[in-house]
Amino acid sequence: MTKTKDSKTEHIILDAAKRVFQNKGMDGARMQEIADEAQINKAMLHYYYRSKQLLFEAVFKNAFALLAPQLNSILNDKSSVEEKIRNFTANYISFISKHPYLPTFIIQELNRNPDFVLQMKGKKGFPNIEKFKKQIDVEIREGILKPIKAEQLFINIMALNIFPFVASPLIKAFVNIDDKAFKQLVEDRKTEVADFIINSIKA
Amino acid sequence: MTKTKDSKTEHIILDAAKRVFQNKGMDGARMQEIADEAQINKAMLHYYYRSKQLLFEAVFKNAFALLAPQLNSILNDKSSVEEKIRNFTANYISFISKHPYLPTFIIQELNRNPDFVLQMKGKKGFPNIEKFKKQIDVEIREGILKPIKAEQLFINIMALNIFPFVASPLIKAFVNIDDKAFKQLVEDRKTEVADFIINSIKA
DNA sequence: ATATTTGTTAACCATATGGTTAAACTGAAT
DNA sequence: ATTCAGTTTAACCATATGGTTAACAAATAT
């Protein structure tokens, strides 16, 4: 059994760091807490990841890499706009229900350090709107869709799908519901949101 | 000139604290930085606000008090649903363009400490969906609107209006635009978003 | 078997940080 | 002028925190 480059410990650390950073953010997280979470000596964190900043970046990139393909599906898939919206909405909400921390974490940390996104932008697999733009224009010309800017539509799709997870404490308070009812509301959105969007843009 | 209860210094501190907390969040903010920002001795912060936590709460409540009336306008005004949506969208985007930090700050800190919202919930002026719910049901019965749950519609309105500000670094990267183009995109949303929503829900 | 590299630990260090204190200053009331 | 409450400052304190080190253990190579 050859030793894998990523040691077991290294993985345990990343996993613990994920949990802590996702809950507390970069500023709120403590190296000792990550070590405790991993049931490991604090020095190991530095042994494998050198610094808090680098450990954080590993976690962030990991999280981003999980999210990006989701968005690419709506930007680059071959199906029609309507199909894409229906698929994306259902899939995305399922996906995030399994990782409810993800969008909040990414958005929070990107606001803390907007330059961070520039580092990602170059890499392949980074979501890009160009293909989607062309597709929208084609479907408008074909009379399938009402005129709308692809940028605005894309923002709307993102907003309707992501926002409820980012703002859940606020929504729960305003709508005056508990966790269970909120979960049901989100579940309903798997079709609600797609209908809402398509209603609006279909010619 | 009688001395006002709120001293000048107290106000200067709150103002500086706003700027720092909004940019760095509770965890990222430093008392020394706030003192520097206010050009004042650090001990004054404790003299007037006792602790970082209390100073933070003052800032947070202040921010929340600014945001709440905006949401109440859509929940409690007398006009028709369509009018409300058009007004709210235009007003809200104008409002936030002047306070771009607000939604991100509130959402971020509420996620850090969800119990915080419960403390606000009791107070009068806290946004509540009940009236809006009834209005939606009436307009559906009258055939003005297609059937939709008030909760979902409210979430959609919030999402479409608030999300672009919360996720601006992400959006700028995906849509591949600079600050100026983003500002224009947001400006366009003052009518875009209302049209998008009304398109979808009007019978 | 022995040397060498890799992994792990406890103790330690420098600095940052929220908070305190005691003395000094200010301006108005006596 | 003196008192007195409210305000401001510099110095200080205890603790938390990210990071390092040196010794030790386990695995791997020679």
- In this complex, the answer to whether residue B31 has its CB under 7 A from any atom of chain C, a nucleic strand, is yes
pLDDT band at B2 (very low <50, low <70, confident <90, very high): very low
pLDDT at A134 over 90: yes
A135-163 average pLDDT score: 98
Report the C-alpha gap between A76 and A127 in whole angstroms: 9
Tell me which residues from 32 to 71 on chain B have a beta carbon below 7 angstroms from nucleic acid strand C: 32, 42-43, 46, 50-53
Q: What does pLDDT average to over chain B?
A: 94
Q: State the pLDDT at residue B5.
A: 52
CATH-assigned architecture of domain B60-201: Orthogonal Bundle (1.10)
pLDDT above 70 covers a percentage of chain A that reads 97
Domain A1-50 identical in fold to domain A61-201: no
In the block, tokens 């600050």 appear at B179
Instruction: Work out the average pLDDT over A121-140.
Output: 94
Both tokens assigned to A15: 């996993």
Looking at residue A7, what is its pLDDT? 84
Q: How far, in Å, is the CA of A7 from the C1' of nucleotide C1?
A: 28
pLDDT at residue B153 is higher than 80: yes
Q: Cβ separation of A107 and B167 shorter than 8 Å? A: yes
Residue A70 has pLDDT above 70, yes or no: yes
Q: What is the mean pLDDT of residues A177-198?
A: 97
CATH homologous superfamily of A1-50: Homeodomain-like (1.10.10.60)
Subset of residues 40-69 in chain A with CB less than 7 angstroms from any atom in strand C: 40-44, 47
* Domain layout of chain A by residue ranges: 1-50, 61-201
pLDDT grade for B6, boundaries at 50, 70 and 90: low
B112 residue type, one letter: R
Give bridge partners of residue B145 from the DSSP assignment: B202
Indicate whether A3 pLDDT > 50.
Answer: no
As a whole number, mean pLDDT of residues A76-90 equals 96
Note the CATH architecture for domain A61-201: Orthogonal Bundle (1.10)
Give the pLDDT of residue A88: 97
Task: Tell me the mean pLDDT in the region B142-167.
Answer: 98
DSSP per-residue letters across chain B? -PPPSS-HHHHHHHHHHHHHHHHHHHHH--HHHHHHHHTS-HHHHHHHHSSHHHHHHHHHHHHHHHHHHHHHHHHH-SS-HHHHHHHHHHHHHHHHHH-TTHHHHHHHHHHH-THHHHHHHTSTT----HHHHHHHHHHHHTTSB----HHHHHHHHHHHHHHHHHTHHHHHHHHT--HHHHHHHHHHHHHHHHHHHHHHHB-
